[in-house]
Amino acid sequence: MYMKIPMQQLFTVPKEILNDARQKILNMEATEGYSFKLQAWKRVDSYAFNSPPDLSKYVGSDLVDYVISKFPDDVLFGWSLSLLPSKEKVIEHTDRMFFHRFAKRIIVPIDGTKDVLNWSYDNDKKTRRYYLMPEGFAYQLNTAITHGLSNNGPFDRRAVYFDMIDQRLNTKFSSHPDLKKVILQQNTGVIHVL
């Protein structure tokens, strides 16, 4: 979803919930592993499944229930798990699918956020605006503008992405033929779907 700012800090996430989620993600990494890789950036995306598993399976129900409870008018449309290794970058991109414009992209950093630098571009499409997203909070990201991040720290950075969509919009557009299609052919920066 587009916002007038690059990123907004929304609410705190208790440390015990984050620790629990982190342990479950480590278990997932040791067993299933990530299913999608873009350079060094690893992901598990609900969108890659025909019948997506419950996110609770990967991060525990405490985190999922906690985040969802903060959005009483929304539904969890999709989710992603993200791992960015130390000293690696997420290539600059703009989220280009139809549903991205409706979905609030909520990011909950799990660990490894020290020295992770996030950025997006100003209206002039040239000026980078940097920001940090330390653990302990949930953030909403402006995914309609070109953004990227660089993990300059010594730890792998893990995060959980929740795509929350207003119930009315979800009902209205659930059968739209373009819902999970890329709608933009071109944009600034190097392009990837997610």
Partner 1 sequence: MYFKNLVEVLHDIPAYLTEEVAESLAKSKEQPSSDFRRFLGVKNQVLGWRKMEVDLRISTMSIQQFIMSQQNLCLKNLVQYETVIAIPTTEEVSELSKRYVDKIGELIVVVLQGSLTIQSPEFDETTTLTSGFVYRINNRVPSSITVADGTIALCLLMIDFDLKHYLKEWDLQGNFLRQKEEHKVISDVIEEKVTY
- Token pair in block for residue 107: 């990011």
Which residues, 107 to 146, sit near partner 1 by CB under 8 A?
Answer: 144
Residue 162 bridge partners (DSSP): 79, 106
CB of 115 to partner 1, least distance (A): 32
**43 or 147, CB closer to partner 1?**
147
Q: Can residue 102 be called a binding residue for partner 1 (CB under 8 A)? A: yes
**74 or 156, CB closer to partner 1?**
74
Q: Can residue 184 be called a binding residue for partner 1 (CB under 8 A)? A: yes
CB of 4 to partner 1, least distance (A): 12
Q: Which of 30, 31, 123, 177 is the binder for partner 1 (CB under 8 A)?
A: 177
Q: Can residue 167 be called a binding residue for partner 1 (CB under 8 A)? A: no
Q: Can residue 101 be called a binding residue for partner 1 (CB under 8 A)? A: yes
Compute how many residues bind partner 1; rule: CB under 8 A: 19
Please choose, out of 59-67, 133-141, 148-156, 179-187, the segment that lies near partner 1 by the rule CB under 8 A.
Answer: 179-187
3-state SS of the chain is: CCCCCCEEEEEECCHHHHHHHHHHHHHHHHHCCCCEEECCEEEEEHHHCCCCCCCHHHHCHHHHHHHHHCCCCEEEEEEEEEEECCCCEEEEECCCEHHHHCCEEEEEEEECCCCEEEEEECCCCCCEEEECCCCCEEEEECCCCCEEEEECCCCCEEEEEEEEEEHHHHHHHCCCCCCCCECCCCCCCCCCCC
- Token pair in block for residue 13: 């996430």
**15 or 181, CB closer to partner 1?**
181
Q: CA-CA distance, 144 to 44, in Å (whole number)?
A: 21
CB of 185 to partner 1, least distance (A): 4
**19 or 174, CB closer to partner 1?**
174
**9 or 188, CB closer to partner 1?**
188
**39 or 171, CB closer to partner 1?**
171
Residue 108 and residue 20 in contact, taking contact as beta carbons nearer than 8 Å? no
* Residues that bind partner 1 in the complex, under the rule CB under 8 A: 1-2, 101-102, 144, 169, 171-173, 175-178, 181, 183-187
